[in-house]
Amino acid sequence: MTAPALAGTGVAAAATVHANLSAPALVQHALSRNEGRLSADGAFIALTGQHTGRSVQDKFVVDDPEVTAEVWWGKVNQKMDPAKFAGLAGKVRGWLAARPVLFTQDLYAGADPAHRIRVRLVTTNAWHAMFARNMFIRPPADELEGFTPDFTILHAPEYEADPAADGCRTSTCIALSFAARTILIAGTSYAGEIKKSIFTVMNWLLPARGVLPMHCSANVGKAGDTALFFGLSGTGKTTLSSDPERALIGDDEHGWSDTGVFNFEGGCYAKVIKLSKEAEPQIWDASHRFGAVLENVVADERGALDLDDNRHTENTRSCYPIEFIPNTVAGGVAGLPRNVVMLTADAFGVLPPIAKLSPAQAMYHFLSGYTARVAGTEKGLGKEPQATFSTCFGAPFLPRHPEVYGQMLAERIARDGADCWLVNTGWTGGAYGTGSRMSIKHTRALLRAALDGSLAQVEFVQDPFFGLMIPKSVPGIPAEVLNPRDAWADKAAYDRTARELVARFEQNFETFAGAVGEDVKAVAIKAAA
């Protein structure tokens, strides 16, 4: 007999099923089951073992006949045979059914009722259920009656797949079938897999509905001016959207429809390594209270957090309901964007702190999705910065070809008249190891000038390498900060480093040369000149 909470999941039975428990109840279960501990402030701390980030090489999309022609196959979306998926799904369901206790949560993805989906999570751990409850949108009690999921997540972190039999690479497997509307997560306790699997689903469904799904944060000013912030991990996407002067729509995943912008989620998932109360007070406060879930964060014997300690990973995380941020948009829906900001942490130190982009440049940088990694942030990195390009600032979550999303962005920028900006939160005055990190005070000041419209009125000069339009002067910002070449003591070294980065952009963009318009090609040609 199948428990009502497991209806539609294919999981036949379990001794006990805890459905849609509240945060306090889930914490109580998590503590009694030794799944983690509480911080001194009441946040729940969990360790995820060997997997402290997403297992990108173990992610698969099922090669269902209905979708195969439209999926962007390759390293991002590895093929899994439908028969292999069916066999593995059967094993995972059987394994879950044999557990003495299961936890389920029924949740929404998508704040706009016209474009949301219903998600049911089945998991073995109370803290993972709490993570999902924090991250997604919690339906009111009357909407849980008769809840039927559109997609089901079968979360079996302790189950080990058999690569030879199951068609996967290792004992860890994240497999998504659009036809079966089922996600399998096995062999990893890293909770971000839950969140990002549904983001991948939204990235599949929404373009067909005329909605652009985006890996971005979003906020809105007092005048109703919505702003989007695209950026990879470590570029400041969460930090810069958590602005006390603007209301937060969401920190990571949004849709851009014909009527406005809406959050996919009901919570935030902030990277907290070296987080300070002075620089990021909202995230700090949200992470130091009951109801937050902390992944791989270090605390002493009294539960006091040490956010500078990276002994488990640099990728320490805090997950909390969005209402933990004091100034948020009720309902997670706002108007059409007036500003689109693309964030990069340029460790080569050659990009300006802010530049105004033409629509063609915006598409070029959107498809490029550039940032740079430095030693200490990821295993295996050497002393020199490494350029990273993740198309649409979210390649790991794109099931369709990137050009689909790029063209949708270009059309919406043109249709809705949004201004576009490139913001460098990385290094200035030299590359990583020589220069210094961009001042967050300067970044915030420049962003506020861009968002309130005053920056668009200043005089701009064009940089000779990327063709970017850089403000010549901004009140309160040193002139040498605005033009990155001026901040370098060795101008010849700056020119050489800038040319090298341009070459990296050029090489990366060759992938898209045949799929973009002449205006975007002209941007690429100018940058390479």
Q: Catalytic pick from 29, 215, 246, 365? A: 215
Question: Can you give the residue range of the structural domain that contains 310?
Answer: 269-327
Q: Catalytic pick from 59, 237, 356, 365? A: 237
243 and 280 Cβ atoms separated by less than 8 Å: no
Do 486 and 457 have their domain in common? yes
Nearest alpha-carbon partner for 262 in 115, 363, 149, 383: 115
Give every CB contact of residue 343 below 8 A, 6+ residues apart in sequence. Answer: 229, 230, 231, 232, 235, 236, 237, 240, 371, 423, 424, 425
Nearest alpha-carbon partner for 171 in 191, 153, 157, 155: 157
Helix (H) or strand (E) holding 442: helix 440-451
Q: Which of 277, 300, 327 is the last residue of a domain?
A: 327
What token pair was written down for 309?
């300690």
Do 301 and 419 have their domain in common? no
Q: Catalytic pick from 317, 356, 373, 442? A: 317
Do 305 and 392 have their domain in common? no
What is the count of structural domains for the chain?
A: 3
Query: Residue 401 domain-assigned?
Result: yes
Do 323 and 359 have their domain in common? no
Do 286 and 360 have their domain in common? no
HSE, side-chain direction, 13 A CA sphere, residue 374:
15
What is the domain-level CATH number for residue 317? 2.170.8.10
Query: Residue 225 domain-assigned?
Result: no
Please indicate whether residue 233 is annotated as part of the active site.
Answer: yes
Do 379 and 420 have their domain in common? yes
Position 321, amino acid: P
What is the domain-level CATH number for residue 381? 3.90.228.20
Do 65 and 157 have their domain in common? yes
Terminal alpha carbon distance of the chain: 68
What token pair was written down for 295?
């992944």
Q: Catalytic pick from 235, 238, 391, 443? A: 238
Do 409 and 304 have their domain in common? no
What is the distance between the alpha carbons of residues 422 and 484, in angstroms, rounded to a whole number?
14
153: region left, alpha or beta (phi > 0 left; psi from -120 to 50 alpha)? beta
What is the distance between the alpha carbons of residues 507 and 501, in angstroms, rounded to a whole number?
10
Q: Catalytic pick from 233, 257, 316, 497? A: 233
Answer whether 0.85 is exceeded by the pTM: yes
27 and 37 Cβ atoms separated by less than 8 Å: no
Query: Residue 231 domain-assigned?
Result: no
Please indicate whether residue 317 is annotated as part of the active site.
Answer: yes
Query: Residue 250 domain-assigned?
Result: no
Q: Catalytic pick from 54, 128, 155, 365? A: 54
Query: Residue 490 domain-assigned?
Result: yes
Do 166 and 313 have their domain in common? no
In angstroms, the Cα distances linking 415 to 257, 259, 368 are 12, 12, 22
pLDDT tens-place values along the chain, 529 residues long: 467 889 889 998 778 999 999 999 999 999 999 999 999 999 999 999 999 999 999 999 999 999 999 999 999 999 999 999 999 999 999 999 999 999 999 999 999 999 999 999 999 999 999 999 999 999 999 999 989 999 999 999 999 999 999 999 999 999 999 999 999 999 999 999 999 999 999 999 999 999 999 999 999 999 999 999 999 988 988 888 888 889 999 999 999 999 999 999 999 999 999 999 998 888 999 999 999 999 999 999 999 999 999 999 999 999 999 999 999 999 999 999 999 999 999 999 999 999 999 999 999 999 999 999 875 444 444 457 899 999 999 999 999 999 999 999 999 999 999 999 999 999 999 999 999 999 999 999 999 999 999 998 999 999 999 999 999 999 889 888 899 999 999 999 999 999 999 999 999 999 898 888 888 888 865 555 5
Please indicate whether residue 495 is annotated as part of the active site.
Answer: no
What is the domain-level CATH number for residue 123? 3.40.449.10
Please indicate whether residue 237 is annotated as part of the active site.
Answer: yes
Please indicate whether residue 54 is annotated as part of the active site.
Answer: yes
Do 95 and 156 have their domain in common? yes
H runs (alpha helix) in 206-354: 237-241, 281-287
Do 142 and 277 have their domain in common? no
Position 18, amino acid: H
Q: Catalytic pick from 196, 271, 338, 412? A: 196
Do 314 and 350 have their domain in common? no
Q: Catalytic pick from 252, 254, 313, 344? A: 252
Strand 212-220 with 182-186, pairing: unpaired
C-beta pairs of 45-49 under 8 Å, 24+ apart in sequence: 45/294, 45/297, 45/299, 46/127, 46/189, 46/191, 46/293, 46/294, 46/295, 46/296, 47/295, 47/296, 47/312, 48/188, 48/189, 48/190, 48/191, 48/295, 48/296, 49/189
Q: Which of 327, 348, 367 is the last residue of a domain?
A: 327
Question: What are the DSSP calls for 478-525, one per residue?
Answer: -HHHHSHHHH-S-HHHHHHHHHHHHHHHHHHHGGGGGGS-HHHHHHHH
Please indicate whether residue 308 is annotated as part of the active site.
Answer: no
Query: Residue 21 domain-assigned?
Result: yes
Query: Residue 24 domain-assigned?
Result: yes
